[in-house]
Structure 1
């Protein structure tokens, strides 16, 4: 569902449901499954669009940091292997 809808659209759907509209009407009108709606609600429930943008930025930064950490650990392991061999 994330690929089809922006964060703002997902939050708008959740606010429609929170305003009193029946959940079934909301997810049918937008063409998503009930499970997808509730998954998004658990992720984005209670957020404003600015909060969702900040969350996305933090997730992107976290992914980059994890990649850097994996590269660093690989380099360290390689250096340990080279250092442990007798010359």
Structure 2
């Protein structure tokens, strides 16, 4: 069954992968190869996943009664490369 926690895990993983692809593959190709095609291709899905991550983190945080500091840390992890993977390992494993 797809619970809110499992949905958040999936979104967190996909957001992390899309961010890494955008940051370390698409952006260098854009600036060093003069080809913005990959940034355009990955930008919109990453943006939607980012928004879904933020919304689900807030909903899940209120449901699991996370402290404000924990919630802010989980939200901040979405803008750090590999941050969502750390959140999965440290915070979401404890929540199950």
Which category of TM-score, normalised to the shorter sequence, fits these structures?
0.3 to 0.5
TM-score (norm 2): 0.32
TM-score (norm 1): 0.35
Q: Which has the higher helix share?
A: 2
Larger RCO (CA under 8 A, 6+ residues apart): 2
